[in-house]
Every structure is written in structure tokens, then in C-alpha cells.
Amino acid sequence: MTITVAGEKKEVKEGLTLPELILLENVETPEYVTVSVNEEFVASDKVADTVLQEGDNVEFLYFMGGGCHGVDR
Amino acid sequence: MALTDEQMERYSRHIILKEVGAKGQKKLLEAKVLIIGAGGLGAPAAMYLAAAGVGTIGIADADEVDLSNLQRQIIHGTPDIGKAKVKSAAETIAQMNPDVKVNTYRTFVSSENIRELIREYDFILDGTDNFPAKFLINDACVMEKKPFSHAGIIRFKGQLMTYVPGQGPCYRCVFKNPPPKDAVPTCKQAGVIGAMGGVIGSLQAMEAIKYIIGKGELLTGVLLTYNALTMEFHKIKLPKDTHNCAVCGEHPTITELIDYEQAECDRK
Ligand SMILES: [Zn+2]
């Protein structure tokens, strides 16, 4: 089946689960990444049970710091 | 207030744009923008906002200029090493544009001071590098109903989004809680290309300017990501549903600001 991951179309096996996709995509610090499927957030306790469907649009949203300190401790 | 001849000349490239004009330039001169963190993101943002004639720029930062800052924090120069970042930034801006009034706050933001600090500004720019500050800025802006630009940079990557009250998700809608200390690397630990602050900080300045002049589309409901290695920008449409958010949702559970603990190794 074809799904879109971070804006790119990909051919993946039928019934691919979200944890499998996270492994395939080599997602950095997967436990702290926010996932959206078809512009809906996937709650962290639902990630394990999410099976992807043909045409799904998956985005990974990463924590990103950068810039300058702003708070003390 | 009418623009002086000198201002007509200085801002002529703005004024000639139909989206700005003399009217938009006056809005910029009357606007107040607060930049939290005069670092990799805040430095270029502050410089473009100052050059653009944003009339009041607040800069909050407790740190001093360090040699390792100069690779990306272009508002500071080699003679500024050891100087308070807010002082160094204010001096650079004074040289760039005498129209700009700079308010300096040599302090770290905390739950104690941030709401009061942001209250008198029209737009807030998050130029901080750590998650406690990012969540604090988000929650304070939601509570004070202030628009702000979030940004982050690391290695060859950057991202930003804009929050405008009532017009889409806040930072906490996307990233529920800060990651534990040291779980996600910072620039200090992982490195960053200096020009990344220039790209993303300039985009933050662009968002502030568009908000002030009221033109164009802001990055509300969108996270814009940039990968310098592949030279790709990607717009991630964020879920519209914000009603469950702990701070900006219909029944917020966060009604007081939280001072999260910061990664130990980020401190000098
Ligand atoms: Zn929210």
C-alpha cells in the first residue's frame, strides 16, 4: 500500500503498524516524538495499536531546542 | 505620527511594497516585540526587527557573551566577550537604527516574572534553547493571550510555528510535556550550523512583521520544518482540535505556570 510519510509517498507492506514505521524510518528518540496521522495526533498510549491504512498521511513532530538559555534551572 | 523624511528614505524599500506602505511602516514603528533569548535565533531576529524599524524591542537574557557564541550569535562581536548579552545586543541595535527603543531584561524568565514581562508587548519571540523555557513561554502567552513565534534549531535542522490566541494550536497542543532532562539533545550537546539561526530566526522576524502589518498567512496551525542538508522546507499541518489541550483547551488543567527542571549539562 502507499502512504505519505513527512510529505513523501512510500510503498509499505499492508497492515504496517505505527511502531513498525517508526523503526523503518529510524525515528530519533521515538518515545519523545509526536505522531500525527491524517492531521490527527495519535495519543502516546495509542501508538502501539495503530495500524496504518492505504493513503494515510503520517508526520513526525520532533522536540527541537536551539537558540539560547532562557530559564535558570 | 507622520514619518520624517529620513524615515521615508530609511524604510523606502518597505514603503514601496503595497502590503506595507507608510501605514504598515507606522504600525512597525508603534509595535512592541519581546525577544526571549539573545542567542542563535534571537540575535538575527532582533537585528532584522531593529532594521525594519520595530519601535520597541525588549530583550530578555541573563547570560554573558561567550567566545563559543560568536559562531552564530551575530548581534555580538569579539569585543563583547564577557559583556551581558542584553547590553551587547542593545549596543548593536543602537548603532543600526536610532528609531528603536530597546528594553533590556538581564534575567532568566521564570513563573515569577514572565507574565508581567510579556504583558506590555504585542508579539513574543521564543529564542530559547531548552524545553522548560519553551513550555513556560507557551503557557504564559496562552494565559496572557499573546501571540508568539516558537522555533527550534539543531544540527542541520530547524522548525517554527506561530501561536495566535484562538487561531490554532499552541506548542503544548503538539508537545504535551517537556521531555525528561537530557532525553533530547540541545545545540550545546549536538551542535548546530550558525546559519541555521539566521534562517529560522529571520523567519521568526518575518512572522512578527506579518503579524504587525496584518498581511499574509502566519504559521498558525502549521509547523514549518527545514532541513539544510536536503534543502527542503516542509509544512506539517497541525490538528485543528485544540479543545483537549491542558493549557489552551476548553477545560485547562494547567492554570498556574510551571518551572520545569532544566538539563544540568546545559548550564555553563
Ligand atoms: Zn494548546
Residue A26 forms part of a structural domain: yes
Instruction: Say which range, A40-44, B107-111, B244-248, has the weakest mean pLDDT.
Output: A40-44
DSSP state of A8: E
Beta carbons of B175 and A61 less than 8 Å apart: yes
pLDDT computed for residue B86 by the predictor = 98
Residue B264: predicted pLDDT: 45
Per-residue pLDDT averaged across B81-106, rounded? 98
Q: List B154's β-bridge partners, or say none.
A: B157
> Is residue B266 within 8 Å of B182, Cβ to Cβ?
no
For B40-74, the pLDDT digits (tens) are 999 999 999 999 999 999 999 999 999 999 999 99
Residue B143 amino acid letter: M
As a whole number, the mean pLDDT across chain B is 94
Instruction: Let me know: does B122 contact B149? Beta carbons within 8 Å.
Output: no
Q: How many structural domains is chain A composed of? A: 1
pLDDT means over runs of 10, chain A (73 residues): 95 96 91 91 90 96 72 44
CATH fold of B31-237 reads: Rossmann fold (3.40.50)
Cell numbers placing B241: 482540535
What b/e readout covers B210-246, taking b as 16+ CB neighbours within 10 angstroms?
Answer: bbbbeeeebbbbbbbbbebeeeeeeebebbeebeebb
Euclidean distance between CA atoms B226 and B29, whole angstroms: 30
Contacts of B51 (CB under 8 A, 6+ apart): B96, B97
B39 contacts A65? CB cut-off 8 A: no
- Mean per-residue pLDDT for B220-236? 95
Angstrom distance (rounded) from CA B82 to CA B72: 16
Residue pair B200/B129 in contact by the 8 Å Cβ criterion: no
pLDDT tens digits for B9-25?
999 999 999 999 999 99
What is the interface pTM, i.e. ipTM, of the complex? 0.82
pLDDT value of position A72: 46
Nearest to B260 by CA among B190, B172, B173: B172
Q: Determine contact: A71 vs chain B, CB below 8 A.
A: yes
Domain ranges within chain B, ordered by starting residue: 31-237
* Residue A10 within any structural domain of the chain: yes
In a domain, A50, yes or no: yes
Cα B246 to averaged position of ligand 1 atoms, centre (Å): 7
CA of residue B245 to ligand 1 center, whole Å: 5
pLDDT at residue A66, as a whole number: 67
| Per-residue pLDDT at B152 exceeds 50 | yes
Question: Within a domain: residue A12?
Answer: yes
In terms of residue numbers, what domain contains A47? Answer: 2-61
Query: Which CATH number does the domain housing residue A28 bear?
Result: 3.10.20.30
Q: How confident is the model at residue B266 (pLDDT cuts 50, 70, 90)?
A: very low
